[in-house]
Amino acid sequence: MKKKYFSKIGLNYLILILLTVIFQIIIVKIVAVYDIKILNNYNIQTTIGAICSYFLPLPIFIYLMNKLDSRTIPQQSINKITFIKYISITLVLMWIGNIIGLGITALISQLISSEIINPIKQIINHQSIYMNILIICIIAPVFEEIIFRKFLIDKTIKYGAKISILLSALIFALFHGNLNQFFYAFLMGGFFAYVYIKTGKIIYPIILHMIINFIGSIVSTIFINSINHLISSTGTPLDLFIVMLYAIIVLSAIIIGIYTILDKYGKIKFEKPEITLNNPIKTSLINVGMILFIIYTILKIIKSIGLI
C-alpha cells in the first residue's frame, strides 16, 4: 500500500514531464505554421519553455497531487541572521555542485571526444537580461518550489523529513534532464526542502531560489564581463569595483556557509515520522512509478550528453 502511494507520486511527476514535452511539441508546431524563423529567437524559445513547463501542465499536476493525502507543516519565522546563513549555505552547495558537475562533464567529454554543452548557460548567454530576470529569477523559482517542495513534501512528510528531503532533491535534480545541473540541483533541492520543513513557509525556499538564480544568471555574467574587460585592458574603475565586491561576497559566503554547515550538521533533528517505513529507500524509490520516472529522466540526461 505504501509502495503504491510513492508509485503514484512518481507517476505524477512522470506525467508532468511528459505534459511539458507534449505541450512544447504542440506550441512549436503552431508557431512554426505562423513563422518558423521565430523559433530561432532564444527569448521566444525560453518563453515557450516556461509556458509549457509551468503554466500549462500545472492545473493537471495539481489535480493529480490533490488526490493524495496531505499534511500541513507548522509554520515558524526565521530572523535575518539565520536567513543570511541560509543564503550562504545555498551558495556553498551551488558551488560544490557546480565543481562536481563541471568535473564529471569534463571527464565524460574527454572520454567521448565531444564537448557537453550546458543548456542553461546557452540560455543565459543568448537571451536578454530582462528575460533572464523574468523567467530564470522570478517565474522558475516560484513554480519549481511549489512543484518540487510544497506539493511533494506536504504529501510525503508523514513518512519522515529524511524521505521528503531525499525525494525532493532527487526528483528536482532528475527533472532538469541534464548532467550539468544535476549535482547542484540535488544539493540545493535537498537544502530547500530542509528549509521548508523547518519553517513551514514556502516563501523562504522561493526567495533563496530567486537569489541563487539571480547570482548565477545575472551577477555572474556581470562579473565575468568585468573580468574580461580588466584582462583586455579596457576595464574601468567600475569593473574593478564589481570584481572586488563579488570576491568579498563569495569569500564571506564560503566562510559563513561552511562554518554553519560544520556547526549545525550534527545537531539537525527532525520530528518522529507519523508513519514509520521499515525499508524507506526501497519503499519510496523501488516502485513502478518512481522507476519509470527515473528511467525516463536518466535517458533524457544520457541524450543531453549525446550518447543516444
Helices (H), the chain: 2-35, 42-50, 58-65, 80-112, 119-126, 129-131, 140-145, 152-156, 161-175, 179-199, 203-214, 220-231, 237-264, 280-285, 288-305
pLDDT at 307 over 80: no
The single-letter DSSP state of residue 148 is I
Comparing 6-15, 95-104, 161-170, 290-299, which segment has the lowest mean pLDDT? 95-104
* Proportion of the chain above pLDDT 70, given as a percent: 100
Q: Residue 170's Cα: distance from chain center in Å?
A: 10
CA 145/CA 151 separation, integer angstroms: 9
Residue pLDDT, tens place only, 29-58:
999 988 888 888 888 999 999 999 999 999
Task: Examine the pLDDT at 306 and tell me if it is beyond 80.
Answer: no
Task: Compute the distance between CA of residue 122 and CA of residue 160 in angstroms, rounded to an integer.
Answer: 38
- The whole-angstrom separation of Cα 107 and Cα 116 is 10
Task: Report which of 307, 302, 308, 295 is spatially closest to residue 18, judged by C-alpha positions.
Answer: 295
Q: Report d(CA 298, CA 13) in Å as an integer.
A: 14
pLDDT of 123 above 90: no
What distance in Å separates the CA atoms of residue 103 and residue 123, rounded to the nearest whole number?
Answer: 21
- Rounded CA separation 202/142 (Å): 9
Q: How confident is the model at residue 199 (pLDDT cuts 50, 70, 90)?
A: very high
pLDDT over 80 (residue 195): yes
CB 289 within 8 A of CB 18: no
Site of grid cell 521528503: 164
pTM recorded for the entire structure:
0.95
pLDDT level of residue 127 (50, 70, 90 thresholds)? confident
| Spans of all domains in the chain | 2-305
Whether the pLDDT of residue 192 is over 90: the answer is: yes
pLDDT at 287: 97
Residue with cell 556553498: 92
Residue 265, pLDDT above cutoff 80: no
What is the pLDDT confidence band of residue 140, given thresholds at 50, 70 and 90? very high
pLDDT value at residue 299? 96
163-169 own/partner pairs: CB under 8 Å, 24+ apart: 163/273, 163/277, 163/280, 163/284, 164/193, 164/197, 165/190, 165/193, 165/194, 165/197, 166/190, 166/281, 166/284, 167/9, 167/284, 168/192, 168/193, 169/193
Q: Is the pLDDT of residue 308 over 80?
A: no
Q: Determine the pLDDT at residue 161.
A: 97
pLDDT above 80 for 125:
no
Per-residue pLDDT tens for 211-264? 999 999 999 999 999 999 999 988 899 999 999 999 999 999 999 999 999 988
> How many Å separate Cα 25 from the centre of its chain?
23
For the chain, how far is it from start to end, CA to CA, in angstroms?
36
Of residues 155 and 112, more confidence is placed in 155
Record the cell numbers describing residue 11, joined without a space.
Answer: 507517476
Model confidence at 89, pLDDT cuts 50, 70, 90, reads very high
Q: What does the chain come to in residues? A: 308
Q: What is the mean pLDDT of residues 156-185?
A: 96
